[in-house]
């Protein structure tokens, strides 16, 4: 490293030290904060990626974007300066990216990256507390790259909801647009003949990304036909059909592992089943020895657990159902063995018995915890009129989380406290077309799930957002089901509500002018 670079780093460190001291020390020299603790400051920039909604001619897509009020990090003067008072200093925009299939001509992708076409935002959010929506019909909607800055960044979320009333991809498809990442897992995918599972890779950056997709079936890793990775051009999206990635026999249960060699991508799997509909399969929480999968509807007619053990050890798991009346061990589904590097599945018939709940998996031997990733395939309805959805292992809401797209009489909120009793505050935002905010406090007893129709804004017009804030007690896992029945088919989609990570811990600093000495 050159001396010039070292000098710049030293200067920056010194400035941070002086600034940190000034921010934490009153004019009389008294300390106003504990320097031994990091500061939880609002994030100042958030990036989200939405996949291509559908290839169907009859698809009807709604985008809903929302930032909860509070914990804002910007101001008109701070972001734009005094001369920009008439301009929005803090904004959130969803910009269409170029929808690019895998192209054998690398020159075209390179030209597109060098000459990006200016585009008008599909959707713009200008203030916290009120959601905005946009409608797109048919297959023309592209993947979207979204950015929120300043006061709109903390907790910003966007929901993509698509109704496909007919055809092989029939169903209600919902997904929370994802931040870019470099390493994600998708249990519950498939390469079976009746399934058309596509992993959508969206690149938000101005340089190309290269991603690897590995598939793991019941017998271990499936041999791939690709060796050089998948190139995702700058600010574009690439859908990849999973069954084309391997020449091995179709597998009903597959775990997908997406990593990047260069760059980062937003990844999500779109599932279409010839018989039971279609939905998005989101990524599982990071591998962990204990997992909670919230949001199983009371009227589920089929629940299938799929898990994968990425480490060197086999996982011996106990399976528990956390329902309204308590935590039980489901008959016939008490345990699951997941071999290292292999995908295992367990059908859980008659799991709910009329109670909404969550599935919890824990080590059979607490002294031998083995990390796993997990997801559920959930089916509602009777044969011929069925619809599928997915529930993934989800981290608890430690501070705050939001589900953006809710409609009157169509949402069900599910809250699970697997350990201690907990209390949360549930807030329904103003509607996208009008309405007043409504809040209520909910207590979830230890070892139970509370599922209910959430509060609806008074005078609601349009859609609204639901925000869950942890108040006290133990961990709470949350999910929201959106149900839009059509022609006797109980179309639905379930989105887990994870912590929105609206704040970030910043190390505190103290005054140390010795770093300025040469």
> Poorest-confidence range of 122-126, 317-321, 353-357, 501-505?
501-505
State mean pLDDT over 408-413.
Answer: 96
> Is the confidence at residue 5, as pLDDT, over 50?
no
CA 64/CA 134 separation, integer angstroms: 7
pLDDT-derived band of residue 121, with 50, 70 and 90 as boundaries? confident
> Is the confidence at residue 129, as pLDDT, over 90?
yes
> Is the confidence at residue 71, as pLDDT, over 90?
no
Q: Give pLDDT, residue 12.
A: 37
Q: Give pLDDT, residue 210.
A: 97
Q: Give pLDDT, residue 174.
A: 98
End-to-end CA separation in angstroms for the chain: 17
Helix (H) or strand (E) holding 112: helix 106-114
- Other CB atoms within a 10 A radius of the CB of residue 240 amount to 22
- Other CB atoms within a 10 A radius of the CB of residue 34 amount to 10
CA 100/CA 142 separation, integer angstroms: 9
Q: Give pLDDT, residue 269.
A: 98
> Poorest-confidence range of 83-87, 219-223, 255-259?
83-87
State mean pLDDT over 272-291.
Answer: 96
Token pair for 462: 């349009």
More confident of the two residues 81 and 517: 517
pLDDT-derived band of residue 163, with 50, 70 and 90 as boundaries? very high
Question: Which residue ranges make up each domain of the chain?
Answer: 3-40, 44-281, 291-501
Residues forming a β-bridge with 440: 426
> For the sheet containing 144-149, what is the strand order?
45-50, 144-149, 92-96, 123-125
> Is the confidence at residue 7, as pLDDT, over 70?
no
Q: Give pLDDT, residue 331.
A: 86
Instruction: Quote the percentage of the chain above a pLDDT of 70.
Output: 82
Token pair for 253: 């249960």
> Is the confidence at residue 495, as pLDDT, over 70?
yes
> Is the confidence at residue 78, as pLDDT, over 60?
no
| 3-state class percentages of the chain: helix first, strand second, coil last, to nearest 5 | 10, 50, 40
Helix (H) or strand (E) holding 88: none
Q: Give pLDDT, residue 508.
A: 64
What does 353-366 look like in DSSP terms, one character per residue? TT--EEEEEEESST
Helix (H) or strand (E) holding 430: none
Name the pairing type of β-strands 157-164 and 171-176.
antiparallel
Q: What is the mean pLDDT of the chain?
A: 85
Q: Give pLDDT, residue 503.
A: 84
pLDDT-derived band of residue 102, with 50, 70 and 90 as boundaries? very low
Q: Give pLDDT, residue 93.
A: 83
Helix (H, G, I), strand (E, B) or coil at 456: coil
* Residue 471 main-chain phi, psi, to 5 deg: -100, -50
pLDDT-derived band of residue 368, with 50, 70 and 90 as boundaries? very high
State mean pLDDT over 69-80.
Answer: 43
pTM for the model: 0.85
> Is the confidence at residue 29, as pLDDT, over 80?
no
> Poorest-confidence range of 98-102, 111-115, 346-350, 474-478?
98-102
State mean pLDDT over 48-71.
Answer: 92
Q: Is the dihedral of CA 296, 64, 51, 387 positive or negative?
A: positive
> Poorest-confidence range of 58-72, 188-202, 418-432?
58-72
Q: Give pLDDT, residue 460.
A: 96
Q: Alpha helix (H) ranges present in 197-320?
A: none
């Amino acid at each position: 490293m050159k001396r010039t670079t070292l000098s710049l780093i030293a200067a920056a460190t010194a400035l941070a030290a002086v600034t940190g001291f000034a921010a934490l020390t009153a004019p009389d020299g008294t300390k106003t904060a504990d320097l031994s603790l990091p500061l939880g400051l609002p994030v100042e920039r958030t990036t989200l990626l939405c996949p291509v909604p559908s290839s169907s001619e009859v698809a009807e897509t709604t985008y809903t974007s929302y930032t909860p009020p509070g914990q804002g990090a910007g101001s008109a003067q701070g972001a734009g300066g005094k001369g920009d008072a008439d301009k929005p200093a803090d904004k959130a925009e969803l910009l269409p990216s170029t929808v690019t299939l895998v192209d054998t001509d690398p020159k075209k992708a390179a030209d597109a990256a060098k000459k990006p076409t200016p585009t008008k935002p599909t959707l713009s959010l200008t203030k916290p507390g009120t959601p905005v929506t946009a409608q797109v019909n048919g297959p023309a909607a592209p993947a979207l790259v979204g950015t929120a800055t300043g006061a709109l960044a903390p907790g910003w979320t966007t929901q993509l909801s698509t109704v496909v009333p007919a055809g092989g991809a029939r169903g209600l498809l919902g997904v929370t647009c994802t931040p870019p990442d470099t390493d994600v897992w998708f249990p519950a995918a498939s390469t079976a003949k009746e399934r058309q599972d596509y992993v959508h890779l969206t690149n938000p950056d101005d340089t190309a990304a290269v991603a690897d997709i590995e598939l793991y079936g019941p017998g271990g890793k499936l041999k791939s036909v690709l060796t050089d990775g998948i190139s995702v051009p700058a600010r574009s999206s690439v859908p990849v059909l999973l069954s084309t990635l391997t020449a091995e026999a179709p597998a009903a249960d597959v775990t997908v592992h997406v990593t990047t060699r260069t760059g980062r991508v937003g990844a999500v799997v779109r599932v279409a089943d010839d018989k039971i509909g279609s939905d998005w399969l989101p990524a599982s929480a990071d591998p962990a020895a204990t997992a909670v999968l919230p949001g199983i509807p009371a009227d589920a007619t089929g629940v299938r657990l799929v898990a994968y053990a990425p480490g060197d050890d086999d996982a011996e798991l106990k399976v528990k159902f956390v329902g309204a009346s308590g935590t039980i061990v489901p008959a016939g589904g008490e345990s699951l063995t997941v071999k290292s590097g292999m995908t295992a599945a367990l059908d859980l018939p008659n799991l709910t018995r009329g109670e909404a709940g969550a599935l919890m998996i824990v080590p059979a031997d607490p002294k031998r915890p083995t990390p796993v990733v997990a997801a559920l395939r959930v089916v509602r309805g009777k044969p011929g009129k069925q619809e599928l959805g997915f529930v993934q292992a989800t981290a608890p809401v430690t501070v705050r989380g939001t589900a953006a797209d809710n409609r009157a009489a169509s949402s069900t909120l599910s809250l699970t406290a697997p350990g201690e009793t907990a209390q949360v505050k549930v807030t329904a935002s103003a509607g996208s077309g009008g309405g007043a905010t409504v809040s209520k406090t909910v207590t979830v007893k230890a070892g139970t799930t509370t599922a209910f129709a959430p509060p609806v804004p008074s005078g609601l017009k349009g859609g609204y957002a639901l925000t869950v804030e942890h108040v006290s007690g133990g961990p709470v896992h949350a999910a929201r089901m959106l149900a839009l029945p059509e022609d006797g088919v109980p179309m639905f989609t379930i989105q887990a509500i994870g912590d929105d990570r609206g704040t970030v811990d910043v190390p505190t600093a103290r005054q140390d002018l010795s770093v300025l000495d040469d």
